[in-house]
Structure 1
């Protein structure tokens, strides 16, 4: 199929995906729509839960494998929408609809790119594409659940909106629950161990704390207190204050190292919820990155989390659309971004695979 035809077909697929509700763990309908793409082109595919995946025609176990991945689940539309989030429509060259930018445009562009290379012989890598579920919720049945099913992955492109620039590193995430304790009492009585007052010094510590290692690409580890909860009655001093701390981890630390540091140094009890969402990166010298920079695409470090966190191989985040539009009201993607995305994906992979 010619590239222009692939682009038109990809845009039609994206319109179909937008029209189907596909909140995380509820992606059955969009999985069926993606299956229909492969069926219409006689490309064999498989499905695990709501993850749809396929291999290039001349897959050879002796070759390394490139993973192409993006997700078809969405967040729920926010209350500021003025347009129907499930009505895909075009205005002034913009395709509006929930999931159009995050990450439908990336997904259909990668599917089109996979289709372009599907039956080409003599590629130096195998290609496997996974249209994954549960990315937005980091759920148990997303890309992470596919890794024991797929062959060994040597390198990956994860489709997220990057304006088709090369995100060569991505911050990891650890969410901590912390507890500041005190002495409970009646509000009318003196109390020099008020948990709420004790929390002021703890909050100041978190506000000012700096991790020593600063990444060349991702900068500092970012630590933010995002939730606080205490008290149930106006006349009772609570026994404790509960805090939630969001930590975005650079590529100088593992999540386990971050937890170890905070458990040792924080002035309160603190415990990580999970350590599995580590930072990701790819060497600047990697042939995949070099193929992109040869096409004048810039490199940068991404502060946002994606399915890269599930991967242990080197991975590149790359896709059409703009990350600042993700999860926004009246989400959209420019049609020219999809056209450019498919063109650049194909050009990059021609340099990398041939």
Structure 2
């Protein structure tokens, strides 16, 4: 198809998506809009929950599978919005609206790119596109629920705003609940086992602890105590203090390894809420990365989490828009970024397909 026509259609689709609320787990209406795109372009698709899935026309058994993925759910608009978050409109080259940057621009650009290659024959890869949901909430019905029903994936491009630069690695996430115990007592009586005082050296330990393995792309593992909770009455020393610890994991560790280390070394009990959001990466000598570099795109490691975390294959995060605009008030994406995004996606895949 004509890429210019596809680009125009993709921008109109994004406007429709913005105008249609699609908070995580409430994406039924945006799923219908994406279905309509595939119907209008005569592309067969499957729907699993609110995830929309389509394969290239000349799918051939035995070829490696390349996944194109982005999400159509959004966070809820914050209170600092001064514009209607559902009013998709263009001002000074900016398309405003909730989800425009994260990750509507990426999604419609990938849909247009997939449509461009859908009917082509003799591709080196089979293609599958998944317009997924519940990315913002890491919910159970998103991309993670689709993967088991797909053929094995060789490599993936995950659409998130990267200014069309190549995020060749992404940090994983483990959230731990920790407990520091003591002896409960009345505040008026002596107590040498006050759980709150016992927490002081524990906090110092977490502040000073370093994971040994440092990634060339992602740097150190980042451990941060982010919540603390204890006590219900002014005159009662509590039996325990509860901590929440946020750990951003580089590509040198699995989440299980992070848990094993903290379970062995930490001076208090730690329990992970989930171990499934692992770090992601793609070899720097992979054909996709080489192609991107040839197109003048830079490489970097991303600290933010995406649906890459549920993939076990090599994956590249790449998309139009700027991550710093995500979840901000009066969210927007430049129309030119979408135009450039589709152009670069197509050029990139032409080099590897």
TM-score, normalised by the number of residues in structure 1: 0.99
Q: Distance in 1 between matches of 2:62 and 2:250?
A: 34
Q: Distance in 1 between matches of 2:53 and 2:295?
A: 29
Partner of 2:48: 48
Which runs of structure 2 are paired with 1:1-354 in the superposition (5 Å)? 1-353=1-353
Shift of 1:135: 0.7
Unaligned runs of 5+ in 1: none
Q: Distance in 2 between matches of 1:125 and 1:323?
A: 29
Q: For this pair of structures, how many residues does the alignment match?
A: 353
Aligned-partner SS, 2:149: coil
Shift of 1:180: 0.7
Aligned-partner SS, 2:247: strand
Q: Distance in 2 between matches of 1:11 and 1:235?
A: 61
Q: Deviations over 1:273-305 (max 9, x none)?
A: 111111110000000111100001001111111
Q: Distance in 2 between matches of 1:94 and 1:60?
A: 41
Unaligned runs of 5+ in 2: none
Q: Distance in 2 between matches of 1:97 and 1:227?
A: 32
Q: Deviations over 1:165-216 (max 9, x none)?
A: 0000011111100001111111112222111111121111111111000000
Q: Distance in 2 between matches of 1:5 and 1:149?
A: 32
Q: Distance in 2 between matches of 1:81 and 1:47?
A: 33
Q: Distance in 1 between matches of 2:79 and 2:190?
A: 45
Shift of 1:82: 1.1
Q: Distance in 2 between matches of 1:39 and 1:219?
A: 45
Shift of 1:89: 1.1
Q: Could you list the runs of 4 or more consecutive aligned residues of structure 1 that deviate by over 4 angstroms after TM superposition?
A: none
Shift of 1:78: 1.1
Computed over aligned residues only, the root mean square deviation of the Cα atoms, in angstroms, reads 0.7
Between stretches 275-284 and 184-193, larger displacement belongs to 184-193
Q: Deviations over 1:107-144 (max 9, x none)?
A: 00000000000111111101000000111111111001
Q: Deviations over 1:193-240 (max 9, x none)?
A: 111111121111111111000000100000011111111111111111
Q: Distance in 2 between matches of 1:328 and 1:225?
A: 24
TM-score, normalised by the number of residues in structure 2: 0.99
